[in-house]
Every structure is written in structure tokens, then in C-alpha cells.
Structure 1
Amino acid sequence: MKICWFNNNQLGVVVNDRVYDVTAALKALPAPSYPEFTGDLVVANLPALRAEIERLLPTASSEAVADVRLLSPVAQPGKIIGVPVNYQAHVEEAQRDVAIFTNRYTGGVKEQGLFLKANSSLIGASDAVNITMPERLTHHEIELAAIIGKKVSNVTQAEALSCIAGYSIALDMTVRGPEDRSLRKSLDTYSVLGPWLVTADEIADPQNLNLHLRVNGETRQITNSSQMIMFIAEQIEWASTFYTLYPGDVIMTGTCEGVGPVVAGDTMHASIESIGEMHVKVTGSKG
């Protein structure tokens, strides 16, 4: 099932290039309690919610995907976790160009550690990445995003993939410079998630998906998730030793070689096999 948020915070299901409005299914959600934190309410209750969605779907109104504004498919993630330098060719790319990537990009993924991105940086596929620091380089990084489906801590690799609610395409936008990753990757609009959440049951093998990113029609990044240094199950195991993971937490699982600059006026086309594609515009000052 492809689940999205669209237009005026409506819940949708995507079938054959149409978005079906199943917002009424939200009535089946339990009332949230305060101040107890349980993560994203829709993701946390997705198994039960799917039954109500399927009941409503035959009579739901629909619009063409091209005619709606797609918001982030996770409305309220507790945290966005980044996995650095997780493809060997990107490690080598960073080592070749220390002037751009800085000496922070040295050592393996476990030596460098995970990083967090601010939730306020999150946008959906129909929104634009807005460059507010044109005097500095902004780079694109396409990544497979795994969305956690239940509260877990100290999970094993064997159990890890069963903790995933679904997958999306992510763009981990980055301002280059000497500061910590969490600062440079947390600008407003610098975390793109979309175009929808594909439930985990529709992805036969998340470690064998083709990723492709073009800018203005030119291929910049192309790889397969099988080329990750640290596979997704190990990422979840590792992350859950540091943090309790909650429903709706997003793990951006790392990018491949070919990262490069974008400027105002560019359009990024990101696609991942079995998930879909999205066109994301870049706005802001051209410097």
C-alpha cells in the first residue's frame, strides 16, 4: 500500500497514479494522550488503520497524482537519523576532495557515528528545497529512507527489518562547510521525504533496490542499495543501542557517489525502484 499526506493534510492512498482520499479512516485512531510520547500516531497504528482504509477505498473520491500537493508521508517523526558515508564509492569521493567534504569525512561509518537532522527541516515531494545560503555549496544526496513502525530498543539484526513500517525516497540536502553534520543538514527544507510511504510488505528486498538521481535531466547519482557498507538491519540494531526508536522515526540510510551542487532554478528527479519517483524544485537566491 502507498500511503501519503496531500493537499490540506488529507490522508491518501495511491493506486494507479491516482490519490484516493481516505481521511475518514483517521476516526479509527485512538485519541492521543498528553504528555505521553508514542511517535507518529498514524504510523504507530498502521496495521489497524489499513483495515479501515481498505473498507473506505472502494467509495473514496480520487484525484490524479499530478494534480495534488504531496506532503511528507510521515507527518510527525520523532527524529530523523542519518547514516554517513555508507557507500564505499562515496567514501572514496570524499577522500579525493577534502576541500569540499572537509576532514570530518574520514574513517568508516561506525567511526563517524550517526547524526540527527531537525524535524523542522522536513518537507514533502511537492515542496521546494529553498537555498538561503547561496554563498555556500548545497549538495544533493539521494537515500533510501526506512520508517520505523514500532517502539524498539536494543533490537537484534534478525528482528530489525520487522520493525520497519515502510520505505520512502529521501533527499538529504547538505550545506558544505566545517561545522557538524547535524547543523549543516538541518536547514529548513533540507530533508525531503516522499513521494509516499510504501508499506514494508510491498518491498521484497530493501537491499536490492536501484536508486537514481538526475538534476535538470543529467544523471548525478546511480547505485543499488546492495552496495551499502552497513545494511539496513545493522543500522537499526546500531541506532537502537543509542536511541529508543519510535513509530515514525526516519532513518536515511546513506548516499552513494555523485553528490553535487544544486542552485536556485534546478529540478531534482529522484527515483527508487519499487517506491516511485519525485521531482523536487530548488528555489532561493542565485547568489
Structure 2
Amino acid sequence: MKIALFDSADGAARLGVVDDAAGTLVDVTAALPWPHDPDPVTAGWWRGLCRDFHTLGPALADAAAAGTPVPLSGTAVRAPVLGPSKIVAAASNYADHVAEMHDVQERTLGRVESWMMNFDIFLKAPSSVVGPGASIVLPPDVVAAGHEVHHESELVVVIGRGGRDIPAESALDAVLGFTAGLDITVRSAADRSRRKSYDTFTPLGPWIATADEIGDGSDLDIELVCGGETRQSVNTRDLVVPVAQIVAYASSIMTLNPGDLLFTGAPPGVGPISSGEKLEMSISRIGAMDVTVT
């Protein structure tokens, strides 16, 4: 199942089930078993859905089958998450990206930070999330300082039930599904989390493909195109640490709450973005989204 968040006429967040082959969406908000709170700040209904999707899925499927489809082209689809308690991101999780970062760091820092070449996790600010069609805003201080700002297109895990100390063999039981994300990054000597947490630096979308449809996320094609040029193209089979083990590792450090996000790592091909550019990102079996740079 593909589930999306979209804006109603009054701007409130609603829940939809997507038929991307038909290019349609059905509003299934009324199938939720609790009163719908439209406030994206509180977002309790969304976290409840992430936690309980394993039991709510059939009712949502029935509502989608019985509902009236509307064209996606006329629907204001937003980022497919609300109020995550945290964004966890994996670093150095494609071998070819680790190799290219030696040259990137020599150019942007004048040295190679060897500790950054090892797999680990860090945090991004949830306030950096934007949705499909949004603009990535280059911070004036970063531009004035002459720092490069890079695109990093990634498979993103959306946590379902979550938990602490989750075994790798049952990690997918804790996952709601997958979406596409861009981890926009300033190349400077500042702390990694700071460099990746500016407002608009986490575009997500266009919707979530649930784990029962996608599986373990181990055979998905990621592509990023800018101005007709393919800048990133990789399959998630090349992840050094696969999804289940990332979930297990992250949960050994911190409790993963329903609705949290887990970026799985940047593929090779990262590079600078400039004002006026349009980034087109897609992941097979999930979907595609466009964002612009301003």
C-alpha cells in the first residue's frame, strides 16, 4: 500500500491511499479509529497510525476500495510524515561514496576526516522537513562564506511500532515503510548535524510505500537527475549495512518512536547544488518527487 499526506481545502493534513499507476488518491481519513486532529504540530493521529498500521491496514484498504479517487495532479501532496520525534541518519553506508568523500573533503576542508569514513549514525532536525515541490533554501551565511551545499539522495525508513534494542531479524516488524529523501548538506568544518539541519534541508516524498509491499528495501533503484544530467544512480543492494541492521543499531542507542525517520546513507555521486536548479529524485517501487533550489 502507498499512503500519502495531503492538504484539504482548509489546509489540514489528511490521509490518502495512492494508486500511482492510475495517478489517483482516495481520502481514507474517516477510516481512522480515533478523532482526526488536523494540527500537524500535535500529530498524534499520525504517530498512532504508524504504531498501529499492522492492525489498521485492512480498514484503510477497504476505505480506499470504496472511496472516490481524485487525480494526484490536483492534490497538494505534502511530506509523508508529521512531527517525527527525531530523524536518524546513517553515514558512510555506500563504499563508493566513502571513496569519493576523500576528494570532496580535500577540496572543501583541505583535509580528510578519517573518522567520518566509518559507518555510524547522527541526528537531523525534524524542522528541516519539507515535501514534494518545495524549495531548498540556501542559507545566506553559507552562500556568503563560499561553502558548497550538496545533494544526497537516500532511501528513508519510516518507523512503525519502533522500540528499543530491536533484533535485526525482526527489525522490519518495527517499520511502517519507506519513502524517498534528500539529505541536503553544507560542506564545512561545522558539526555534521548542524550542517544538515537548516530549514528545508530534508525534502521527503512523495508518499510511503509500506514494508509489506517493499520488503526489506534491499533491491531498490535510487536516481537523482538535475538539468537532464543523472547525478546519482545506485541500487540499495550496495548498502554496506542493510536496513534491518541499521534499525537494530540505531535502536541499541536510542528508542525509535512511531513516526521517526531513518535515512539509510548517501549513495555516490553527491555534488553541489545552485539556486535555480531543479532536482528530480526517484526510487523504484516507491515514487518520484521534484524540488527546486533557491
Global fold match (TM > 0.5): yes
SS in 1 for 2:246: helix
Counterparts of residues 206-285 of structure 1 (less than 5 Å): 206-283=217-294
Residue 17 of structure 2, aligned match among 13, 21, 34: 13
Superimposed CA distance per residue, residues 14-34 of structure 1 (whole angstroms, 9 cap, x where no aligned partner):
1121111122223x13799xx
Q: Following TM superposition, by how much is the alpha carbon of 1:149 offset from its aligned partner in structure 2, in angstroms?
A: 0.8
Separation of aligned partners in 2, 1:157 and 1:189: 32
Separation of aligned partners in 2, 1:152 and 1:162: 10
Residue 139 of structure 1, aligned match among 150, 153, 170: 150
SS in 2 for 1:263: coil
Report the residue type matching 1:14 in the other structure: V
Q: Following TM superposition, by how much is the alpha carbon of 1:47 offset from its aligned partner in structure 2, in angstroms?
A: 2.7
Report the residue type matching 1:2 in the other structure: K
Superimposed CA distance per residue, residues 5-57 of structure 1 (whole angstroms, 9 cap, x where no aligned partner):
1123121111121111122223x13799xx9x998222112233323322322
Report the residue type matching 1:60 in the other structure: G
**Structure 1 stretches lacking a partner, 5+ long:** none
**CA contact under 8 A between 1:82 and 1:254: conserved in structure 2?**
yes
Report the residue type matching 1:170 in the other structure: G
Q: Following TM superposition, by how much is the alpha carbon of 1:205 offset from its aligned partner in structure 2, in angstroms?
A: 4.3
Q: TM-score of the superposition, structure 1-length normalised? A: 0.89
**CA contact under 8 A between 2:128 and 2:200: conserved in structure 1?**
yes
Q: TM-score of the superposition, structure 2-length normalised? A: 0.87
**CA contact under 8 A between 2:161 and 2:173: conserved in structure 1?**
no
Tell which deviates more after alignment, 177-186 or 122-131. Answer: 122-131
Residue 103 of structure 1, aligned match among 112, 136, 159: 112
SS in 2 for 1:50: helix
Report the residue type matching 1:82 in the other structure: A
Is 1:80 the counterpart of 2:91 in the alignment? Answer: no
Residue 66 of structure 1, aligned match among 73, 78, 90: 73
Separation of aligned partners in 2, 1:105 and 1:274: 35
Report the CA distance shift for 1:105/1:210 in structure 2 as closer, same or farther (over 3 A).
Answer: farther
Report the residue type matching 1:88 in the other structure: A
Is 1:22 the counterpart of 2:28 in the alignment? Answer: yes
Report the residue type matching 2:88 in the other structure: I
Is 1:117 the counterpart of 2:121 in the alignment? Answer: no
Separation of aligned partners in 1, 2:209 and 2:62: 19
**CA contact under 8 A between 1:29 and 1:42: conserved in structure 2?**
no
Superimposed CA distance per residue, residues 201-259 of structure 1 (whole angstroms, 9 cap, x where no aligned partner):
11134111111101122100011101111111111111111101111111000011111
Report the CA distance shift for 1:208/1:171 in structure 2 as closer, same or farther (over 3 A).
Answer: same
Report the CA distance shift for 1:38/1:240 in structure 2 as closer, same or farther (over 3 A).
Answer: farther
Q: Following TM superposition, by how much is the alpha carbon of 1:81 offset from its aligned partner in structure 2, in angstroms?
A: 0.5
Report the CA distance shift for 1:220/1:31 in structure 2 as closer, same or farther (over 3 A).
Answer: closer
Report the residue type matching 2:186 in the other structure: V
SS in 1 for 2:102: helix
Report the CA distance shift for 1:55/1:38 in structure 2 as closer, same or farther (over 3 A).
Answer: closer
Corresponding residue pairs, total: 277
Percent identity reads: 35
Report the residue type matching 2:31 in the other structure: A
Superimposed CA distance per residue, residues 86-131 of structure 1 (whole angstroms, 9 cap, x where no aligned partner):
1111111011232326634645434xx3110011001111322122
Report the CA distance shift for 1:209/1:164 in structure 2 as closer, same or farther (over 3 A).
Answer: same
Report the residue type matching 2:58 in the other structure: A
Tell which deviates more after alignment, 175-184 or 125-134. Answer: 125-134
Aligned residue for 2:134? 127
Superimposed CA distance per residue, residues 107-164 of structure 1 (whole angstroms, 9 cap, x where no aligned partner):
5434xx3110011001111322122233332111000001111131111111112211
Separation of aligned partners in 1, 2:167 and 2:224: 32
Separation of aligned partners in 1, 2:240 and 2:85: 26
Report the CA distance shift for 1:18/1:267 in structure 2 as closer, same or farther (over 3 A).
Answer: same
**CA contact under 8 A between 2:221 and 2:234: conserved in structure 1?**
yes
